[in-house]
Amino acid sequence: MEIRKTLFSGVLYTGISKYIGVLISLLIVAILSRLLSPDDFGIVAVATVLLTFFGLITDLGIAPAVIQNRELTKQDYDNLFSFTFWIALIVAFLFFILAGSIAAYYNARQLVIICRILTLSIFFNTINIVPNALLYKEKEFKFIAKRMILVQIITGGLAVAAALGGGGIFALLINPVLSAILMFIITIRRFPLQVKLTTGVQSLKGIFSYSIYQFLFNVINYFSRNLDKLLIGRFMGMGQLGYYEKSYRLMMLPLQNITHVITPVLHPVLADFQNDMNYLDRSYRKIVRLMAFIALPLSLFLFFSAKELILIVFGNQWEPSVPVFRILSLSVGIQIILSTSGSIFQAAGDTRSLFICGLFSAVTTVSGILAGIFLFRSLEAVAWCIVVTFTINFFQAYLQMYRKTFRLPIGPFFGVLLSPLLLSALIFALFSLKERLLQIDHLLLSLAVNLLLLLFSSAAYLQLCGEYNLLNGIKQLLQRR
Residue 437 has pLDDT above 60, yes or no: yes
Sorting pLDDT into bands at 50, 70 and 90, what band is 432? very high
Residue 267 has pLDDT above 70, yes or no: yes
Sorting pLDDT into bands at 50, 70 and 90, what band is 470? low
Exposure pattern of 7-20 as b/e (b: 16+ CB <10 Å)? beebbebbbbbbeb
Query: Measured over all CA atoms, what is the biggest interatomic distance in the chain, rounded to whole angstroms?
Result: 71
From the CB of residue 467, how many other CB atoms can be counted at a distance below 10 Å? Answer: 16
Compute the distance between CA of residue 210 and CA of residue 363 in angstroms, rounded to an integer.
Answer: 23
Q: Please give the C-alpha separations between residue 411 and each of 290, 343, 357, 408, 417, in angstroms, as whole numbers.
A: 17, 21, 20, 9, 10
Residue 402 confidence (pLDDT): 93
Closest CA to 52 of 136, 137, 100, 121: 121
Residue 394 has pLDDT above 80, yes or no: yes
Contact 177, 165 (CB under 8 A): no
Closest CA to 377 of 240, 222, 225, 238: 240
From the CB of residue 353, how many other CB atoms can be counted at a distance below 10 Å? Answer: 22
Flag the least confident range among 67-71, 324-328, 346-350, 475-479. 475-479
Residue 99 confidence (pLDDT): 86
* Percent of the chain residues topping a pLDDT of 70: 89
Contact 190, 133 (CB under 8 A): no
Compute the distance between CA of residue 469 and CA of residue 460 in angstroms, rounded to an integer.
Answer: 10
Residue 230 confidence (pLDDT): 72
306's enclosing H/E stretch is: helix 306-314
Determine the residue type at 450: N
Residue 451 has pLDDT above 70, yes or no: yes
Q: Please give the C-alpha separations between residue 124 and each of 131, 174, 191, 416, in angstroms, as whole numbers.
A: 11, 14, 15, 42
User: Between residues 204 and 473, which one has the greater pLDDT?
Assistant: 204
Contact 216, 354 (CB under 8 A): no
Q: Please, where are the H alpha helices in 60-140?
A: 62-68, 74-106, 110-127, 129-137
Q: Phi first, then psi: give them for residue 196, nearest 5 degrees.
A: -115, 160
Q: Phi first, then psi: give them for residue 165, nearest 5 degrees.
A: -85, 5
* Percent of the chain residues topping a pLDDT of 90: 20
At residue 76's C-alpha, the angle toward residues 71 and 80, to 5°, is 125
pLDDT in tens, 85-130: 998 999 889 889 988 888 888 777 888 888 898 899 989 999 998 8
Residue 1 confidence (pLDDT): 47
Closest CA to 41 of 92, 108, 124, 94: 108
Residue 6 confidence (pLDDT): 64
Compute the distance between CA of residue 255 and CA of residue 56 in angstroms, rounded to an integer.
Answer: 21
Compute the distance between CA of residue 176 and CA of residue 124 in angstroms, rounded to an integer.
Answer: 10
Closest CA to 21 of 226, 261, 188: 261
pLDDT in tens, 293-341: 989 999 999 999 988 888 888 778 788 888 888 999 999 899 889 988 8
pLDDT in tens, 133-165: 888 888 787 888 888 888 888 888 888 888 788
User: Between residues 414 and 111, which one has the greater pLDDT?
Assistant: 414
Residue 422 has pLDDT above 90, yes or no: yes
Q: Which residues have a Cβ under 8 Å from the Cβ of 9 and sit 6 or more positions away?
A: 141, 142
Residue 406 has pLDDT above 80, yes or no: yes
Helices (H) and strands (E) in the chain, counts: 21, 0
pTM for this entry: 0.67
Q: Which of 100-109, 244-253, 309-318, 387-396 has the highest mean pLDDT?
A: 387-396
| 220-225 long-range contacts, CB within 8 A, separation 24+ | 220/355, 220/358, 220/359, 220/361, 220/362, 221/358, 221/361, 221/362, 222/52, 222/53, 222/56, 223/362, 223/366, 224/358, 224/361, 224/362, 224/365, 224/366, 225/365
Residue 4 confidence (pLDDT): 60
Flag the least confident range among 46-60, 91-105, 380-394. 46-60
Mean pLDDT score, 42-63:
75
Q: Which residues have a Cβ under 8 Å from the Cβ of 392 and sit 6 or more positions away?
A: 364
Q: What is the mean pLDDT of the chain?
A: 82
Exposure pattern of 33-44 as b/e (b: 16+ CB <10 Å)? bebbebbbbbbb
